[in-house]
Amino acid sequence: MTDAVDLAARVREGELRLHELDDHADPDVAAAARRQLVESETDASLDSVGDYGFPAAAAEPNIENMIGAVQVPMGVAGPVAVDGGAAEGEAYLPLATTEGALLASVNRGCSVVNAAGGANVRVTKSGMTRAPVFRVTDVVEAEALVEWVRDNVDRLREAAAETTTHGELLDVTPYVVGNSVYLRFRYDTKDAMGMNMATIATGAACDVIEAETDASLVALSGNLCTDKKPAAINAVEGRGRSVTADVAVPREVVTERLHTTPEAIAELNTRKNLIGSAKAGSLGFNAHVANVVAAMFLATGQDEAQVVEGANAITTAEVRGSGSDGDLYVSVSLSSLEVGTVGGGTKLPTQAEALDVLGIRGGGDPAGSNADAFAEYIAAGALAGELSLLSALASRHLSSAHAELGR
């Protein structure tokens, strides 16, 4: 550790900056030097942070000024039976979380889904978006820009294609606000989440627009994309993958396993997830979809900030049939689930192993099928989580379950 101590001293003396350490030592020694510096200046012990199980070089594309790693407990729920457009059969769902009782709840939901014959899941729309904003003189120029874009989508598609061998520009939707024009580019990014791919491709397309029109690019992102922020446009138009999972649960399964009735769950969902969310002005009309999305994102190396969009979901519940013979139908529709099985954090060793649990690491055949399957598995997990929590609330067992598990 002598080299690390010496490097830390050079930073302390102003000879080097933290981000320059990687130029003077291998990534693990550089990380150790940063720990030495932080420990000496904060009186914190970073022994656990420094006890990580992969070469620091493996994380170079994912982090700057690395000092170690945070370990989050990971478990599995399931297996859960999925009948999807890309996912098929039973799968264990890897979830990383520090919230006690979450895995137990999702696991219970998985068992109920299986008893009902499995979850039906389909990706209904796909496309990663980036929306630059342009300045024009007035509405006349705005209209001219909109018309030019509509007439030249093929030229923009060609410019975008020159930046990537995988992504494909699907469409461009214009929005005019005074002398600001927003162009929402939507791409098929195959098995990649695709945010970087969409950004680079859109930059090339914007160069063409500036060269051929009077519009001036103000920003490559004009917030109409919309990335990592609650947004109605994502709820309506989708971003990443829009995916729906549903299941019809026989009445006897509801009463015997969930200790409630289809009628109670359906009423609770209406009053809580629909009316309650509407009164609150929420964009998420669900019980806790974010729990499953976040846990699976952390386990598999997704961009954790995009849980904001991933939790943009609507849960529905209704009784099918009449009288005492009616069964329970439940669905969860996630409008903007941004996932990938290549690139980003999916290359890190533990995250790659979690993707292997699902059998979807890397590029799919055909391209995009692994990311589609991933979205379907997350939706199935969200469905299981919703079913379990709604049942716990309907049967008034939520607090007792947490107490029993010591949470």
Please give the radius of gyration of the chain, using alpha carbons only, rounded to the nearest integer.
Answer: 24
How far is C-alpha 102 from the chain's CA centre?
Answer: 18
User: Domain segments of the chain: what residues?
Assistant: 2-59, 74-126+242-404, 132-219
Cβ 67 vs Cβ 30: under 8 Å:
no
- Reported as a single tens digit per residue, the pLDDT across 243-298 is 999 999 999 999 999 999 999 999 999 999 999 999 999 999 999 999 999 999 99
pLDDT at position 211:
97
Cα 86 to chain centroid, rounded? 18
pLDDT for 398 equals 57
CATH class of 132-219: alpha beta
* pLDDT number for residue 2: 57
Active site residue 99: yes
Contact 314, 272 (CB under 8 A): no
How many whole angstroms from its chain centre is CA 305?
A: 8
Is 132-219 in the same CATH topology as 74-126+242-404? no
- Residue 171 is a catalytic residue: no
CA 339 to chain centre: 5
Nearest CA-CA partner of 192 in 343, 298, 297: 343
What is residue 43's predicted lDDT score, i.e. its pLDDT?
Answer: 87
Task: Please tell me which residue in 24, 166, 397, 402 is annotated as part of the active site.
Answer: 402
- Looking at residue 9, what is its pLDDT? 86
Handedness of CA 255, 260, 261, 266 (dihedral sign): negative
What's the pLDDT at 89? 96
Long-range contacts of 23-29 (CB under 8 A, 24+ apart): 26/56, 26/57, 27/55, 27/56, 27/57, 27/59, 27/60, 27/66, 28/55, 28/56, 28/57, 29/3, 29/4
Identify whether 372 is a catalytic site residue: no
The pLDDT, as a whole number, for residue 12 is: 87
Q: Do the beta carbons of residue 242 and residue 124 sit within 8 Å?
A: yes
Q: What is the pTM of this model?
A: 0.93
Please list the ranges in the chain whose pLDDT falls under 70: 1-2, 397-407
User: CATH code for 74-126+242-404?
Assistant: 3.90.770.10
Amino acid type, 100? G
99, 304, 327, 353: the catalytic one is 99
Which DSSP string do the residues of 266-313 spell out, in sequence order? HHHHIIIIIIIHHHHT-S-BSSSHHHHHHHHHHHHT--GGGHHHHT-E
Q: Exactly one of 191, 227, 303, 376 is catalytic; name it.
A: 303
